[in-house]
Every structure is written in structure tokens, then in C-alpha cells.
Structure 1
Amino acid sequence: VGALAHRTRFAAELLASRPAVVRGNASEVMSLAGSGPGGRGVDTQASSEQAIDAARALARSAGCVVAVSGMVDFVTDGSTVVAVPGGSPLMTKVTGVGCALGALVAAFVAVESDVLFATAAASAVLAAAGERAAVGRRGPGSFAVGLLDEIAALADAVR
């Protein structure tokens, strides 16, 4: 979003369908809110803290929960903002971690009617899995495998 005009237009069309949650990195959320040029995945230059106001505005205008991922994740419904610290710096070195968070958010929202709570909980679970996966890892390759293992272990723990 923001990096290419056709992607930004498509994202705007998706917003018109009134999703329950919009999740992105800081640059993506700022672009959707009309307050930034957008970015390219893990290469984003903006911090999640810099996107809080844009996330709140987007949540209000789109009528949904907005989650901004970064070193600290922020989740908002437009009025309440929840900060979710944690994770690992290695999470920024692995392509697909944001997609994994999107999948977790969808799963949590499917079983919890409080969308703000469900989204923040999904973010917290991924952060915890990231922290656990980073222990003893030498780099992003072993971390990526460890992250999948830790997500599965946390899922087993809550069954």
C-alpha cells in the first residue's frame, strides 16, 4: 500500500467493504489514512508510534479496528489505543511475519466478539512467540522455523 498507485486504489476499494480489522506497518497505515506516502513491507521507514494518529483516524473513518505493527504494535478502534510490546528484532528480518499476524488476527476475531481485544490478543500471542523463538537462534532462517514452532506450541497450550 502506498508503494504503487494501483495497490493503494485496491486497498481503498477493500476499505469500502467495511472490514472488521485493517492491519499494516506504519507506512501502510499512514498511506491508507492519507497522511503518508506508504512503504514497502519490512523496509518501512516510519515507526509504529509515528502512525498512531493515522491509525486512530483510519479506524474512525473506516469504522473498524486498525493494527499497526512495529517494534511496539498499536491497536485502536479510533478512541482506545492498546500498545502491545514484545517480539524480537528478528521479526523484521523475516518476510511473512505480518501475514502470520493477519492470519492470527482473523482466527482470534472469528471466536471473540470484542474485535479490539481479539486483535490485541493476537498481536500479543505473536509477540510472545517471537520472544520465545529468538532464544538461541543465530539468524533469521532458524528464527523463522522457531517462530512457526512457537506459534504451534502456544496454540497447543490454549487448547
Structure 2
Amino acid sequence: TGKREVAGLPYDGEVIGAVQRSSSDSTTRDIVVCAAGTLPAELHKLWRTSTPGGYHMEYGYSCMGYEIAGGLGVKMARPDAEVIVMVGDGSYLMMNSEIATSVMLDKKLIIVVLDNRGYGCINRLQQACGNASFNNMLPDSAPRIDFALH
């Protein structure tokens, strides 16, 4: 993430900008939730909010799978806000089951999945340390997933 993985697809920053521009009152109404990979760094630079609590990141341990469950907790605490969960495809696959819980509780979440076909941040860090790529990208380990259909 942060890098264009497939020619013609937008950068993470372009997606973040498009999401924030989709509502004229985003800076006062929306709360963004994220946790893992390079997305927190991109959001740190690019997400704009004028409301306390409008930016919710789990920086400590980059907990993959936290995003949707965390977003549900935020929505329960702030039912009047639009809660936007920004999540990478690898992290999404770890705990997407909380979508069913949000539907059951009638707690709307806006979930934006950024698909780089795997654990791109982990893969780049692994290679930057001089190691070969090891089963971090989904083509190496899983079939193509239609996230919109899912």
C-alpha cells in the first residue's frame, strides 16, 4: 500500500482523498478507523478532521484484524457519526466476520478495502531486510477474492 501495485489503480492517498471528498461535512461528521500496514501512516498524513475523536488508529502493535471490530465499537459509542473503516485486504481477511455483527446490531459501517493482493507492507519490510519474499502475497497462497461481492 502506498505504492501502486497494479497499473491504473489509485494510490492509497488517492483513495483516502476520494473518501473524504465524498461528503462535504466529512471533517466534522466522519470518524476514520484503521490499524495495520502502511494505511495508518497514509491516514496520519492525509485524513483531515476538526472533531475530537474523528481519527481512530491503533498504532501500538499494528493489530491486523482490529479495524472492523474497532469500527463497530466506535459506531456503538458514536451512533450519530459516519464510521469509515479503512482496511487492507490481508487485514480484512483476518476478521471480516464482524460485518455480520454490525448488520445484526443495525450499526452501519462504511468499509473501504484497499486491495494490494496480500500482505504488501510485510512483504516490503521482509525484502528490505534482505530476505526473499515468503508467502506474503495472495497469489502465492490464496485464490483471487472478489471483495465487493464478499
TM-score, with structure 1 as normaliser: 0.33
Higher RCO, 1 vs 2 (CA within 8 Å, ≥6 residues apart): 2
Q: More helix by proportion, 1 or 2?
A: 1
